[in-house]
Chains A and B, each alone.
Chain A
């Protein structure tokens, strides 16, 4: 039995460490540890809640709008501020664009190298690649000359002996199964996606000044003033035209490159439709209301819980059902660490007890992570694209049903294949496609509001702190690209008394709880084959399929689960 350590896990956001016990070429047990702590909620105490989003946004620079969104929602919820329709649309556009862009970056730049052997692309016949490309998609850049150019560029890099980012790759690993031609196709699209993502995300620049960390949110709306006749209004017909082009490019990229690539690569890795299944419990807070803000069942991504892969029942989400354990986390609870704290009395007192750096191994039977272990009604949950798709599918959400059934038919498979490493990839792609198309609807709505003189984007009733109650509490939920995100805020006077966030990657990458129940990563890794412990590609595949985002996860993480009325998710 050997202990394998992967630290740093790269091609993720943040600092993740995986320790795995190997037994007969398979993972028998695994521990997931977040190795960075920043103390966001401690820093936010005493600051102006109207600017909390600017700070909270910096929790993560990859999913850079999601924390801003959850934060303004939390404060708006606390102060009971309804937001105008245009603000909701602009937020949806920005968050939706984030989701599409993030999923594309994840697939091509963070995940693809687990499946694509760059070195093998050199052996490809560009003409054949071209034929494959043309058979799976209408995308225009698919000539043999084009692929030859890509191949030469890769060759130049390899010949130079300076392989840059690819220097540390696991090229030639037996687990790579794609033929050279498909590898070349994927490498071409790796570069293509790199170019596209930075063009497309100008949608954030247009609506938020810049990306990363766009700067146009407000408690009560958005700063994106609308005016059909003002050249200096943030949104005017000229900007709408630019947004149209960008949204079109998203649809084109997802439909013509992303989806066909996933469908082309998946069949070579059929084994991975049954590997990395994980917990089987799925949680989605739900998000993206079109018109009915009150009923989370009608959201584009509905709210609900699916337990034990049972698609026949979708349970309602009880905000008070969230609790957190620190038995294996570097925090201290006043009443003893064994008991999960009901979040209303949650605490965040960092107390490192791990080995003094530099260290070789963590003490995994004791405390071993900066992440807490959130549980829903005592159960570990998976959140993220797969959870959303599963909950949406089980709830009968028509877009999700249609998209999932479409993909499953093409792959000739049943919904059970979704509970797997590849299932997560497929769910992410499905979601990106649904979202890319939904963007168009929102944009058209915005454009029509502009034409009809509906230009309100901000609700000023509670901007002045003098109008606030003495104290207030609220929470904001959002379905971020990586899963269910919640921010909780308590305001007293004009300042923040308590600020907490429970984020997707904490659910997924969190450590064990008191009962020893594993977190989603830990559970999903069990049984993963590892052909070569020096090159643990298989482990990375499953971990990456969750799209880890550790900076989000560690900073932590208390739900103030007092009695809340169901929040309005806008």
Chain B
């Protein structure tokens, strides 16, 4: 009984201090549940979890990255990024925005890893180079791999945000000069969830964070370790241009009439049919838009190893191994058919001009 009261007191107090009304909080939580595709019965638990007095400790690591995923997180609007980093979590380490540098920063990380061992969340952005002893990315003189092993190895859960952390991203594209890999390969056996995307969509990452706060667990995942709620459906099936696809109305040249009318981008190399992601429904930057709406085909940035598998981005199909972008599969196929027709014709002609063979034929 007392415990409940204390809990509620802290809830009310925490809310009041943050200037958040209970209604706002409940609204936010139910929004999160919708993103996560969870029923409303979890609402109370969610509300209680996000308003805990002691905030969940979180560290955000950047390895071989472009900081795009950090920037993407900064664009979070539900919840607001300030609420996330100040109120929902104790966001202790994040090189892009944390106050202290050098020794001060390293001290924070050391403290979290030792004092919060097994309790903190690690978010990782960027790939991990493994070639040549990890010299292609060092922080504070330590290799990224070394740091990842310590930080993720001691975390309660690790969230790999972005294509690079999930599978090595573009550094890993052929010929992978730095031996980059994703977290799953770099530090096997940890409790991990992949938030593929280039960049990750903060709506989904925030939902996973809230899910963790509520259930102390990561949401259900698919075979690539990506949360099903966000990566379970094909983009093509949710696309606003889909009716045009079914009707056979396609953009055939950039800027043509079909392009102005918002026809389907299939012929321009759209990878929507090959990609699973909630990009069309979650959208970006406070639900403002998404790439296909901006008139460019999908590049399937949330699919595993998309840099190699989904490129060339302006062709529907990948290049035939050994031929690069010089010859497409269609050209190659037609060429082969042509060669065969020619060969067969010549063969037929030669047979025709030879006299008929004697009968009976020789036996084997």
Contacts and interface: CB of A to CB of B under 8 A. Distances in A.
Interface of A: 5-15, 35-40, 42-43, 46-48, 50-51, 54-55, 58-62, 64, 105, 109-110, 113, 118, 149, 152-153, 155-157, 160, 162-170, 191, 194-195, 197-199, 201-202, 204-216, 218, 220-221, 223-227, 230-234, 330, 350, 352, 354-360, 370, 455-458, 460, 463, 493-495, 534-536, 540, 551
B98 A168 contact: yes
6 contacts: A36-B137, A109-B74, A165-B86, A197-B74, A198-B74, A551-B66
Contacts of A168: 92-93, 98-100, 104-105, 107-108
A191 B95 contact: no
Contacts of B98: 10-11, 165, 167-168
A39 B71 CA distance: 22
A143 to B, nearest CB: 14
B313 A51 contact: yes
Contact of A226 (B18, B176, B260): B260
Interface string B80-98: 1110011101111111111
Nearest to B324: A46
Contacts of A358: 141-143, 146
B103 A210 contact: no
A221 B143 contact: no
Given A10-B100, A194-B81, A356-B133, A551 B67 contact: yes
The winner among B135, B199, B253 for most chain A CB atoms within 10 A is B135
Contacts of A155: 17
Q: How large is the interface on B (under 10, 10 to 19, 20 to 34, 35 or more residues)?
A: 35 or more
Listed from nearest, the 6 A-B pairs whose CB atoms lie closest are A61-B68, A232-B262, A168-B100, A169-B99, A209-B294, A39-B177
Contacts of A535: 104
A38 B136 contact: yes
Contacts of A105: 74
Contacts of A206: 288-289, 294
A213 B201 CA distance: 12
A47 B325 contact: yes
Contacts of A62: 66-68, 71
Contact of B260 (A13, A38, A162, A225): A225
Given A149-B19, A195-B82, A357-B134, A493 B177 contact: no
Interface of B: 14, 17-19, 53-55, 57, 62-72, 74-77, 80-82, 85-87, 89-108, 129, 132-143, 146, 169-171, 173-178, 180, 198-199, 253-255, 259-262, 284-286, 288-296, 299, 307, 311-314, 324-326
B299 to A, nearest CB: 6
Given A10-B101, A169-B100, A157 B86 contact: yes
A145 B81 CA distance: 23
A195 B84 CA distance: 12
B113 to A, nearest CB: 14
Given A43-B170, A162-B57, A198 B324 contact: no
Given A62-B71, A168-B107, A223-B294, A495 B65 contact: no
Contact of B102 (A5, A38, A163, A234): A5
Contacts of B76: 198
Contact of A233 (B62, B86, B261): B261
Contacts of B288: 202, 205-206
A73 B108 CA distance: 43
A15 B50 CA distance: 33
Given A234-B294, A358-B141, A227 B260 contact: yes
Contacts of A160: 53-55, 90
Given A199-B286, A216-B294, 4 more contacts: A15-B138, A198-B74, A205-B285, A357-B142
B260 A230 contact: yes
A164 B85 contact: yes
B99 A223 contact: no
Contact of A11 (B65, B96, B299): B96
A315 to B, nearest CB: 34
Contacts of B93: 168
A546 to B, nearest CB: 14
A9 B102 contact: yes
A61 B70 contact: yes
Nearest to A45: B175
A164 B89 contact: yes
Contacts of B324: 46, 495
Contact of B290 (A38, A209, A370): A209
A212 B57 contact: no
A194 B70 contact: no
Contacts of A227: 260-261
Contacts of A202: 285-286, 288-289
